[in-house]
Amino acid sequence: MEIWEVFQSLGRPALDELVRRISLGTLKAYKLYEPFKIRAHLTKLNTEHLRKATGRFWERLSSGDEDLAKDLAQAILVSNIGFIVEVLNFLNIPHDGNGFLPKDFSGEKCLTEGWQQRVENEFRGRYPDALVRLYINHLMWEVDKQAKVYAS
């Protein structure tokens, strides 16, 4: 799976919703602000410019821009780190307390059959569906780059 394929499976309205969830303060705190601004091809990164760029993001994702897809997913997920921690705790996946997996993480023990549906069921209604599906697919991608996109 490629991350751009995940965004494509979610659709343009979901991309709009997810981009609105990006916290510029969080990007600065994690030192992702400048790298994301460059990858996004924005001369100025603020809420207004970010939202206006969503159409261009969609075009780039539609053409298979994997680098943008990875950076965009990272910006969205780090901006929703509380959600990430909740999911990892729900799945009993070891992490550093801030939602980051250990370098030697192997998902076979924690990601038992049907984990995607369990996560979706647990977090549906509490968080936007697009965010839940993005993270499910991102976690699958972290564990197995050959996995197919999970579309529920």
> What are the distances in angstroms from CA 101 to CA 109, 123, 135, 151?
14, 20, 13, 23
pLDDT of residue 106: 77
Give the model's pLDDT for residue 148. 93
Model pLDDT, residue 105: 78
Say whether pTM exceeds 0.85. yes
pLDDT digits (tens, 9 = 90+) for 57-95: 999 999 999 999 999 999 999 999 999 999 999 998 988
The domains of the chain are located at 3-78, 81-143
Helix orientation angle between 12-20 and 129-143, rounded to the nearest 10 degrees:
90
Indicate the angle between helix axes 3-10 and 129-143, nearest 10 degrees. Answer: 160
Q: What are the backbone angles phi and psi of residue 140, rounded to the nearest 5°?
A: -60, -45
**Residues with pLDDT less than 50, the chain:** none
